[in-house]
Structure 1
């Protein structure tokens, strides 16, 4: 089918559902999709916002999905239309008639013989059932989107890395509470239609590699199992699915694969095999993307990011002043004279700011008085959060943080060496590990410990 025929076929489907033909923007979206353009490129060509294109596109895919009885998205539109058009006409016409497929208009009622009672209701029931079974998106483990404070720069960076640069492996890192998972969930909602398969996996239960691979293969192979012509075919290997289809796999809480009491990124003995999975995703050719979210990241990912353009690590930092003030305003703190100082004190960390906000709502004015100076409050939930992070550190890492907390200001590597008994070769690894955990920052030749962590350690 050529482009004109594809658009005509889609127009017939939309008209059968809505009674209206494709408008200019809908046609532009379908045309751009068939020409492998991104939503951003379609928006530029049509001279409108990308968000508007995504909104209209989402509604268009919904209409097509309902009419065709299976999930239709930007990534599988062409293949779905061609396959369904052939199957519809080969089912109801002889082979000689089916070769004239491009000359015949699509008619939803033709799916059932006209004399079948309640054929329309039966068609809807069958379509809904089929759509559920053939869904290519499993976001059941993705947290619900709550209030999302603006992170446009980070979102745009991730979109560029995934959709334009086609990165195969992206590590999303940052200290606990900084908003990594919230950002990733917002990202997935915006780009999921660019992929044929999207799945969100939470590693809180720490599945073995075999269990994890089986879960992915089962998800990727479901459409094949529903196709009667493929019932006798064995599922492909995981890599073959990643090569054959455009897939987005999100792994949340990846730090659960790593050992406590060790430097960052050291696998627990039973999860060492994940190393080979990430190595294959990094080095072997495929068209899919893995997004890893966690306080710690695999060492092979952080080591390879500068040598391989298909690998990237993005550290998430705190909210900007405007977004953080909006958050504080929800707790009655956004109108304080020194609200920017409070945001800086807590590094714009959404979880830390919410903890202080909850304390303010419970105790009221007395908290406000304390926040007027440089006091750093550590509500119980914030202490629990920090304890969970600190408890994962090695003894040497804890020793370095204690020294930095007592020092007060930034400290140079030479001074750390003078005041600890850690051998020089090990000390540099300890500092590197603390930086990978996003617990310390480097400014010029000094290392800085955030005020909240300093207060907690002291």
Structure 2
């Protein structure tokens, strides 16, 4: 029995329950392949105990539905019999589907209908089948937050899946009984960045509320000691003191927002490093696990001994491989993606968008929705008629707000090799996902961007210049 048939059989057997989530499908698939729970945990980034718990519940549900004991070890035997019985039933009742199969088919159609209504946008929900693990990154991240006083940095351009990974890390931390705090600096009002004192007080209030502690800043804040010291004392003598002995994971998303405020960045970033180093000297600071998530390298000058970005562990999210693109296509219900010949088409998609998770998702979403041939999607990808037109216009609008970025992007798309850029322009283009960097040398991140921005920033300018040189224009 192939894996797709196995998954279909399970969905038919369990028609009254919610559709299998990604982790359940993963456990079922890997169990069929003979993998141990430990091997599954290693491949997925989830804890072994969590994987085992998912498996145990799945076998219990199947046992109750089938009226016989189902275990990980007898999975092949049970479902081979199920398949044989199903074929026998079809031979004897060819004119009509059983109510069980009919119900399962309807459930499957309803599920696909619901999923295709979810336009790719924002973080992928934790139990979504559309989240594609990128081992060993998830495992590394989940293991790292188990280390006392850790400082973990997750870096990738926008829409590469940072928040999706972060939410899975938070879910894993909660499963371990850890306290979690999630701060997205994009949610902060601009006035929060008016001064260091205002920023740190806001920071402490948010952390306190998420840990269900009453904000008692005035009991620990002292203007004579300064905001950074006051903030440190507040964490050490209040937050880390009054919670139980379980660690606290402090997840800071979109930290690059702080980079836009150099005066604050030059104080806050060294402060985070100081807290990390305190864990080596003070046991109470071991309870704090800091996770910093950002889109670009910092372009604020910092003393090398003060930067939090040259200590701890750094994880850089990578684009999807062809195998991951194929897996996602199958999760979208695009069965043709399993064909080896059609794999060449998916390779063309991967090359066009550079394996960028959001751009891949957007393509597969449209293929599922409209039945548009992939060849047509690729041919029109960089044009106003293509599926990426709005995304590309938004990027162009962002570039046009900063003339130095227009100039830098023109240099990048003008040649098929790396070019050296001003450091700040290079980092900002990388943050937008437009370029890949090696030092300050940049190259366009995918063919889609090369085609579009060459047309918008070079070809159109050349046409205007030519028109202006015509006799009637002189």
1:154-303 pair list within 5 angstroms: 154-164=137-147, 166=148, 168-194=150-176, 196-207=178-189, 208=192, 209=199, 210-220=201-211, 222=213, 237-240=234-237, 244=241, 246-255=247-256, 257-258=257-258, 265-267=259-261, 274-275=268-269, 277-285=271-279, 286-287=285-286, 288-296=288-296, 298-299=298-299
Q: Matched residues in 2 for 1:193 and 1:224: separation? A: 26
How far 1:242 moved relative to its partner? 6.5
Q: Does the 8 Å contact 1:178/1:318 carry over to 2?
A: yes
Aligned to 2:366: 359
Q: Distance in 2 between matches of 1:172 and 1:154?
A: 10
Flag structure 1 segments of 5+ consecutive residues without an equivalent: 1-41, 60-140, 226-232, 259-264, 417-426
2-structure distance, mates of 1:299, 1:436:
11
Alpha carbons of 1:320 and 1:339: their partners in 2 closer, same or farther (altered >3 Å)?
A: same
Query: What whole-Å deviation, never above 9, does each CA across 1:126-157 have from its counterpart, x for those lacking one?
Result: xxxxxxxxxxxxxxx99732232122211122
In the aligned structure 2, how far is the partner of 1:198 from the partner of 1:150? 22
**Inter-partner Cα distance in structure 1 for 2:358 and 2:364:** 10
> Deviation digits for residues 17-76 of structure 1, max 9, x if unmatched?
xxxxxxxxxxxxxxxxxxxxxxxxx969xxxx97442356799xxxxxxxxxxxxxxxxx
Structure 2 partner of 1:397: 405
- Equivalent position to 1:54, from 50, 54, 59: 50
Structure 1 residue 194: deviation in Å?
3.6
Classify the secondary structure of the residue corresponding to 1:163: coil
- Report if aligned partners of 1:179, 1:350 keep a CA contact under 8 Å in 2: yes
Counterpart secondary structure, 1:213: helix
Name structure 2 gaps, 5 residues minimum: 1-36, 56-121, 193-198, 222-232, 280-284, 455-474
Distance in 1 of aligned mates of 2:153 and 2:170: 15
Aligned residues: 304
Return the alpha-carbon distance in structure 2 between the equivalents of residues 196 and 216 of structure 1: 14
Structure 1 pair 239–383 and aligned structure 2 pair: CA distance change class (3 A): farther
**Partners in 1 of 2:265 and 2:308 — Cα distance?**
25
Q: Give the conservation status (yes or no) of the 8 Å contact 1:175–1:437.
A: yes
Q: Hey, what does 2:225 align to over in structure 1?
A: none
> Does structure 1 residue 343 correspond to structure 2 residue 350?
yes
User: Conserved in 2, the CA contact under 8 Å of 1:168 and 1:311?
Assistant: yes
Within a 5 Å distance, the mapping from 1:295-444 to structure 2 comes to: 295-296=295-296, 298-299=298-299, 310-329=311-330, 330=332, 332=334, 334=337, 336=342, 337-361=344-368, 363-365=370-372, 368-371=375-378, 377=386, 379-383=388-392, 386-387=395-396, 390=399, 394-407=402-415, 409-413=416-420, 427-431=422-426, 434-435=429-430, 439-442=434-437
Matches of 2:373 and 2:38, distance apart in 1: 51
Deviation at 1:435, TM superposition (A): 4.9
1:144 corresponds to 2:122: no
Q: RMSD of aligned C-alpha atoms?
A: 4.5
1:208-264 CA deviation, whole Å, 9 max, x = no partner? 322121121344463999xxxxxxx98961244575552101122333x24xxxxxx
The CA distance in 2 between the partners of 1:375 and 1:404, in whole Å, is: 17
Give how far 1:299 is off: 4.9
Indicate how the Cα distance of structure 1 residues 293 and 320 shifts in structure 2: closer, same or farther if over 3 A, else same. same
What's the counterpart of residue 34 of structure 2?
none
Structure 1 residue aligned with 2:64 = none
Distance 1:293 1:391, change over 3 A: farther
**Structure 2 equivalent of residue 12 of structure 1:** none
Q: Return closer, same or farther for 1:167/1:159 CA change in 2, 3 Å cut-off.
A: farther
Note the C-alpha offset of 1:306.
9.0
Question: Offset at 1:323?
Answer: 1.7
Q: 1:434 to 1:311 in 2, by over 3 A?
A: farther
Q: TM-score, normalised by structure 1?
A: 0.54
TM-score by length of 2: 0.52
Q: Residue 291 and residue 396 in structure 1: after superposition, are their counterparts in 2 closer, same or farther (change >3 A)?
A: same
Cα distance change of structure 1 residues 378 and 280 upon mapping to structure 2, 3 Å threshold:
farther
